[in-house]
Structure 1
Amino acid sequence: MAVNEAERRAMTRALELATLGPRGINPQVGAVILSPDGDVLAEGWHHGAGTPHAEVDALAKLAPGAARGATAVVTLEPCNHTGRTGPCAVALIEAGVARVVYALDDPGAVEGGGAERLRAAGVSVEAGEQAGAAHRVIDGWLTTQRLGRPHVTVKWAQSLDGRAAASDGSSQWITGPDARADVHRRRSEADAIVVGTGTLLSDDPSLTARDGDRLYPAQPIPVVIGSRPVPADAAVRKHPHAPLAYDTRDLHAVLADLRERGVQSVFVEGGPTLASAFLAEGLVDRVLAYVAPVLLGGPRLALTDIGVPSIEDARRLTIDEWVPLGADLLAIAHPLAVQEAVTSQEEGNH
Structure 2
Amino acid sequence: MRRALQLAARGPATGPNPRVGCVLLTPDGHVLAEGHHRGAGTAHAEAAALAELAARGAGAAGCTAVVTLEPCTHTGRTGPCAQALLAAGVARVVIADTDPNPTAAGGADLLRRAGVDVEVGLLAEAAHALNERWAAAVARGRPWVTWKFAATLDGRSAAADGTSRWITSAPARADVHRLRAGHDAVLVGTGTALADDPALTVRAADGTGEGGGPQPLRVVAGLRELPAGARLRDGRAELVHVRTRDPHAVLAVLAAREVRTVLLEGGPALAAAFARAGLVDEVVAYLAPALLGAGPAAVADLGVGGIADALRLDLAPGPEAVVRVGEDVRVTARPRARRAVERAPDPSHPPVVEEVARVHRDR
Bin for the TM-score computed over the shorter chain? 0.7 to 0.9
Q: 1:240 aligns with which of 236, 240, 254?
A: 236
Whichever residue aligns with residue 216 of structure 2, its letter is P
- The equivalent of 1:10 in structure 2 is 3
Post-superposition shift, 1:278?
A: 0.8
Answer yes or no: is 1:223 the counterpart of 2:219: yes
What's 1:324 paired with?
Answer: 324
Cα shift at 1:90: 3.8
* 1:335, distance to aligned residue in structure 2 (A): 3.3
Q: TM-score, normalised by structure 1?
A: 0.81
Deviations 1:150-178 (A, max 9, x none): 22211101222222222222222221122
> One-letter code of the match for 1:215?
E
> Would you say the 8 A contact 1:154–1:267 is kept in 2?
yes
Indicate the SS of the match to 1:102: strand
Check whether the contact 1:118–1:125 (CA below 8 A) recurs between aligned residues: no
Q: How many pairs are equivalent?
A: 328
- State the alpha-carbon separation in 2 of the partners of residues 90 and 328 from structure 1: 51
What residue number does 1:343 align with?
A: none
Partner-residue secondary structure (3-state), 2:162? coil
TM-score under structure 2 length normalisation? 0.79
Q: Name which of 270, 273, 278 aligns with 1:282.
A: 278
Query: In structure 2, which of residues 33, 49, 53 is the aligned counterpart of residue 42 of structure 1?
Result: 33
Give me the CA root mean square deviation. 2.9
C-alpha deviation, 1:55, in angstroms: 1.0
- For residue 23 of structure 1, what is the aligned residue in structure 2? 15
1:200 aligns with one of 193, 201, 208: 193
Contact 1:208 1:239 in 2 (8 A): no
Name whichever of 174-183 and 318-327 sits farther off: 318-327
Match of 2:357 in 1: none
Choose between structure 1 and 2: higher helix proportion: 1
Alpha carbons 2:315, 2:332 under 8 Å: kept: yes
Q: Is the 8 A contact 1:17 1:31 kept in 2?
A: no
Task: Tell me how far 1:132 sits from its aligned partner.
Answer: 5.3
1:32 aligns with 2:23: yes
State which of 92, 95, 98 in structure 2 corresponds to 1:102: 95
Seq. identity, %: 50
| Secondary structure at the counterpart of residue 249 of structure 2 | helix
Give the 5 Å matches for 1:266-277.
266-277=262-273
Any idea what the Cα deviations from partners look like across 1:80-138, whole Å, max 9, x if unmatched? 34555443234334545455443432112242122233445352413262535644546
Deviates more, 1:201-210 or 1:295-304: 295-304
* Contact in 2 for aligned 1:195/1:268 (Cα 8 Å): yes
Instruction: Name the residue aligned to 2:289.
Output: 293
User: 1:325, 1:30 → 2: CA distance?
Assistant: 32
- In structure 2, the partner of 1:214 is 209
Q: By how many angstroms is 1:69 displaced? A: 5.7
